[in-house]
Amino acid sequence: MRDCVIFLKLADKIPEIKNADYIGADKGALFLAKKKLPMAFSIGDFDSVSENDRSWIELYSDEVIELNPVKDNSDSEAAVDEAIRRGYRMIYIVGATGGRLDHEIVNIRLCYKYPDRVVLINDRNFAVAFGEGSHRIQKSGYQYVSLFAGNECEISLNGFKYQLDHRVLNEKDLYGLSNELTGESGEIFVHRGSVLVVQTSD
């Protein structure tokens, strides 16, 4: 299975992810088209895209999926759901934060919806939800690691400044903010539930 990168309208850079297909969601498709980068597919209602811009998107898309503007999900959720349906392994989302807060919340919750598969990335942050099991993370230039529960979960940490042992977290617990790795890597054990892991630089 291949990986993919979904570009939303706030995307401004191309991440260094090798051998991944590009997917444009609404104005994220225009961002890719203007850079003359081919897309496996583009998706959105395209209600804020001009006819000229639409022709650019069509030129660089293997397939254009046009959504009804009156819909129950966001363009980003529709793009992720379609990527899941097509069997992509890891799904990286660029341009998911920094704009409308409601859309940002949706994008974060997509990590919870698809743990171990959906990743939000930008210049300073890397966010993914881990489901049950053992997960090793690398420092990779990030200073802090924060952990947040969507629903109740139980986790243990190894290789962190602040260790946890079978600690139960729920959505009201905020003390998982700004932990740090003591070495170049650490391990997160999710005994039950899922936890959002956010690595960030200062």
Q: Domain limits of the chain?
A: 3-123, 129-200
Please, which residues bridge with residue 195 across strands?
130, 149
Give the whole-angstrom CA distance, residue 181 versus residue 188. Answer: 11
Question: How is residue 175 written in tokens?
Answer: 């003390």
Domain 129-200 -> CATH class? mainly beta
Task: Look up the CATH superfamily of 3-123.
Answer: Thiamin pyrophosphokinase, catalytic domain (3.40.50.10240)
Residue-wise pLDDT tens for the chain (202 aa)?
799 999 998 898 999 898 999 999 999 999 999 999 999 999 998 887 888 888 899 999 999 999 987 777 889 999 999 999 999 999 999 998 888 899 899 999 999 999 999 999 998 899 999 999 999 999 998 999 999 998 899 999 999 999 999 999 999 999 999 999 999 999 999 999 999 999 999 7
Taking residue 4's Cβ as centre, other Cβ atoms within 10 Å add up to 24
Helical ranges in the chain per DSSP H: 27-34, 51-60, 75-85, 101-113
- Please give the model's pTM, rounded to 2 decimal places: 0.92
Q: Which of 201, 192, 178, 5 is nearest to 90 (CA)?
A: 5
Q: What are the distances in angstroms from CA 56 to CA 84, 86, 88, 123, 164? A: 26, 24, 25, 27, 51
